[in-house]
Amino acid sequence: MRPSVNRPPTPDVHENQEKEPTLQETINIKLIESGEKERLMELLRERLVECGWKDEMKAICRAFIKKKGRNNVTVDDLVHVITPKGRASVPDSIKAELLQRIRKFLVSAAL
């Protein structure tokens, strides 16, 4: 990709690069580089469909759109509406399964 001449200024990036990457960032990078993140995402998607979470989110979106009117809703609106509800309603069993997978990965990656 050709870098554009009109690249916007990035004032804060230089300061951030002085700091150490946080643990969260490091783990994220490791997950992505190894391809594990993609596998985890697929697993998460599968589980959330199976337990009906996706259908529930779809229903919430539909209800919201019905209330506001189809032409008055943006993707941003929907994301802001269902993100808190979505995060709160992920079943504990799914969280546990994913945490277990991540732990297992970290153990194997650290060695």
Partner 1 sequence: MSSRNPSYTNPKPCKHLEDYKLRHGLSGYKSIQKHLKATPHGRTSVEMLNAGVPRCNSCNGFQGRLYLCLICNSVSCLDHTLLHTQSEDGHDLAVDIERAELYCCVCCDQVYDPDFDKVVMSKHNMGVPRDDKHGDESIGERLVKRRRLGLGVAEELVDLKKSKQLVSMRDRRDKSCYPLGLRGLNNLGSTCFMNSVLQALLHAPPFRNYFLSEGHNHEACQRRSGDRLYSFFSTDSGDCQCIAHRVFSGLLRSDVTCMTCGSTSTTYDPCVDISVDLDTSNFSPTDIVNKRSKPNENSSISTLLGCLDLFTRQEKLGSEQKLFCETCQEMRDSVKQMSIRRLPLVLCLHIKRFEHSPVRKMSRKIDRYLQFPFSLDMTPYLSSSIVRNRFGNRIFSVEGDESDIITDFEIFAVVTHSGTLESGHYVTYLRLRNRWYKCDDAWITEVDEEIVRASQCYMMFYVQKMLYQKADEDLSSLPLSPRRDAYLPIAGCCERLFK
* Nearest in space to 102 (alpha carbons), one of 55, 48, 32, 49: 32
What would you report as the CA-atom Rg of the chain, rounded to the nearest whole angstrom? 19
Q: Smaller CB distance to partner 1: residue 45 or 104?
A: 45
**Non-local CB neighbours of 46 within 8 Å, separated by 6+ positions:** none
Kindly state the smallest distance separating residue 103's Cβ from partner 1, in Å: 20
Q: Smaller CB distance to partner 1: residue 15 or 67?
A: 15
Kindly state the smallest distance separating residue 9's Cβ from partner 1, in Å: 8
For residue 44, report the phi and psi dihedrals to the nearest 5 degrees: -60, -45
Kindly state the smallest distance separating residue 97's Cβ from partner 1, in Å: 15
> Exposure string (b/e) for 79-109, b if CB count within 10 Å is 16 or more?
eebbeeebeeeeeeebeeebeeeeeebeeee
Kindly state the smallest distance separating residue 23's Cβ from partner 1, in Å: 14
Residues contributing to the site for partner 1 (CB under 8 A):
1-4, 6-8, 10, 12-13, 16, 25, 28-29, 32-33, 38, 42, 45, 51-53, 55-56, 59, 74-76, 79, 85, 89, 91-92
Q: Smaller CB distance to partner 1: residue 32 or 109?
A: 32
